[in-house]
Structures are given as C-alpha cells and as structure tokens.
Structure 1
Amino acid sequence: MSNIKAIPRRIITGTKGGKSYIAKDEIITNVSEHFPGLIISDVWQTSKMPASFEQEKPIENSAIPSVIKNGTYFRYVQIPPDEKLGIEAPAGQPHPLMHQTKSLDYIIILSGEIFLITDTDETLLQAGDIVIQTGTNHAWSNRSDENCIQLAVLIDAE
C-alpha cells in the first residue's frame, strides 16, 4: 500500500527583505469529496500570464475545474476503484464520468493505476506515467482494488 496521503501538505515560499523564506507550511484545506472516496485537493491557481508571485485567491472546488482565463490550476486527486464509487459503464455506452475541460492538462500518475478513456479507445496508466490532455473528451476508470493518486496542472487553452 502506498504511503501517499489523500490530502497533501503544501509549502509556499516567499521573499521578505530580499531574503527567501517559507511563508506557509500547511495541510491543504480546500478539499472536497464529490463521490465517496474521490478526494480532490485544489492546491493553487494563477489568474494571469505571466503568473505573478502573489498569494492565491480562494479556489472554488468543483468536480470539473474551470480554469481562469490566462490562468493555471493545480490539483491533487485520489480516485478510488470504480467498484467503490458504484460506477459501471454499460457496454456500448460512454463512461458515466466522461467530461471535457477547456484546458491543456499535464497529469502525472503518482501511485496506483487507472485507465484513461477517450471516445474511441483507452489505455492503462501506472505510477510514473504522464498524460498531456489536450482538451478532449475523457474519463478515468480505476479497475484495480487500490486508490490511484494523480497530480494535474491545468492551463487555460483555446
């Protein structure tokens, strides 16, 4: 079993008087559980490009994030097995959690395994695999008996 936490610790650095320091060291508090065991920790967002070093603005936590125009969104997700979520994709039907965001997403699988499903195919992802999600329709299906942890950076895209 992995020792990765469902709710991560976040360390934020800053500068004061020309010297760097640790401005915050805390457990993420912006956490939601939209389905039992599906834990989403919204870590950080930016609201312009280039990004500024200002402190974050509160993030509205939702199952499908909405990236701020010219911004980024940093998310840590624990996805339990489909069986625990009560999810079943009927044969020939789209996966019930198919969704699409208007963003370019960099996703890293930190632990466990999960299937990435698109409209026409799917592939098994394991710890260390990286997905570049280009705003396409997709779903995640955890067919194992362990949680999958993924880290995602979403960037506003056209």
Structure 2
Amino acid sequence: MSEPLLVDAIQGRDHNHFQGADGQASAVRRVVTGVSTHGEPQIVSDGPPPRSRAHVAVPGMVNSVVWATAAPPESGYRDLTPDLVTLVPGAGETVALLVTFPPDTVFADPLFDGPKAAREQMEITPGLAELFEQDNPGFHTTPTVDYGVVVSGEVVLDLGSATTVLRQGDIIVQNGTRHAWRNHTDQPATVFFVLIGRKPA
C-alpha cells in the first residue's frame, strides 16, 4: 500500500468505516492503551472517537476530537472527550483533533449559508468557534501551542502578513499566532492537531 491506512480511510478508499456515537459514519480509528488490574498493558478501546462530526452546512468538513488530557495528565485512561465543554485547553491541558478541510470553493457556492455554518461550528467546536473573527473569515487566535501534521492533501497557513503551503507529511508548530487555514485545491485536506494550553500572559 503506497499510503498509510489512515490516509486511505480518510480519503474514502477503505470501506472499514466505524459508526460514531452520534450515528454518523467515521473513517477514524482510535486505539487507546492502558494497564490492566494485573499491571499488564492492554488495548482498552479500539474504534471511532465518540465526538466525530461531519458538518452539514460545510460539506466535506469533518471534526474528530481524538483525545484530551487534564493538567497534569491523570493516571489511567479515562476518556475526557465526551464531556469537554470547550475544545480550547486550559494551561497544561491538551486536546487532540483531526480536521478535514474541504476546498475553499465550498464557501463560494451560491447556496452556502454562512449563518447556518457558524451555528453548526458553535455546536461542533465549542470554545474554539467563538475565537473566529467575524469580519475576517477563517482567522482566529488561540491561547495554545499547536502541533500539526498534514495527513493528506494540501493546506495554506495564512498569517495575514505571510503564507506558506503545507503538504502531506509537513509539520506545523503554531505558537498562538493569529492565523487561518485555506484549501486552494480541489481536494479535501486533513490535518492532525495537538493543542496545548499556555499559561496566561
């Protein structure tokens, strides 16, 4: 196989899709390890993240909350993701996300409903959605250090004053700067992010 299975699944070439907790199909397989009561390593979970959502108002956009940790991380393997009230981690906390960005042409479609998309974003990405600028579509600033890996496709990191193209395998370290993600291609792009909460200035 020329590409990793995860990439194949996300791009729809693998038919081994899981069913998310919300009843929607999810191509993401999450394997979580832990330690048994006898002290032996084991796989405690193998399936889709419980918070995987495909957007309706933004066709092709998918958000999966993969994992989250408290500050400091707790021992054990309790899944915090179902109960998260915000996807923006506090100082020392982490949130792992897998995001698929559709081509930017989706937003230029005459049938695109901006207010509906904004309401849906608030529901799917609470805490994060509120940080997006109303007058500058896509731009947002988070109180986090973000590690990102482009899993498939191509995205543009737009800082306003500078841009750079990122392709499959490229790694981003986003240090709490104002930014936006663009997809100027005709194919979806998927990026895996780990957001790490920073101490307040």
Q: Give 5+ residue unaligned stretches, structure 2.
A: 11-25, 110-134
Which amino acid counterpart does residue 77 of structure 1 have in structure 2?
Answer: V
Q: Residue 86 of structure 1 corresponds to which residue in structure 2?
A: 108
CA 1:109–1:144: 2 relative to 1, 3 Å? same
- Answering whether residue 41 of structure 2 is matched by residue 11 of structure 1, we say no
Q: 2:63 is matched with which residue: 40, 44, 58?
A: 40
CA RMSD across the alignment: 2.2
- Contact 1:7–1:28 under 8 Å retained in 2: no
Q: Which residue of 2 aligns with 1:138?
A: 179
- Where is the strand percentage greater, Structure 1 or Structure 2? 1
Contact 1:47–1:71 at 8 Å: present in 2 too? Answer: yes
Q: Distance in 2 between matches of 1:84 and 1:144?
A: 11
Name the CA distance, whole Å, in 1 between partners of 2:93 and 2:83.
Answer: 12
> What is the CA deviation profile of residues 89-146 of structure 1, one whole-angstrom value per residue up to 9, with x for unaligned ones?
xxxxx75110111100000001100100002010111001111000010001100011
Q: Give TM-score scaled by structure 2 length.
A: 0.68
Which of 88, 104, 119 is the equivalent residue of 1:66?
88
2:146 and 2:72 map into 1 onto residues whose CA distance is 16
What SS class does the counterpart of residue 106 from structure 2 fall into? helix
The structure with more helix, counted as a fraction of residues = 2
For the residue of structure 2 that corresponds to 1:140, the secondary structure is: strand
Range 30-39 or range 148-157, more displaced:
30-39
2:123 is aligned with 1:103: no
Q: Is the 8 A contact 1:102 1:156 kept in 2?
A: yes
1:3 aligned counterpart, secondary structure: helix
* CA distance in structure 1 between the partners assigned to 2:195 and 2:31 by the alignment: 20
TM score, norm. by length of structure 1 = 0.85
Looking at structure 1, the residues matched to 182 and 167 of structure 2 have their Cα atoms a distance apart, in angstroms, of: 12
| CA distance, structure 2, for counterparts of residue 31 and residue 74 of structure 1 | 12
Q: Which secondary structure state, in structure 2, belongs to the residue aligned with residue 107 of structure 1?
A: strand
Give the structure, 1 or 2, with the largest relative contact order (CA under 8 Å, sep 6 or more): 1
Displacement of 1:61: 7.4
> Is 1:154 aligned to 2:195, yes or no?
yes
Give the deviation of 1:51 after TM superposition.
4.8
Instruction: Kindly provide the amino acid, as one letter, of the partner of residue 10 in structure 1.
Output: R
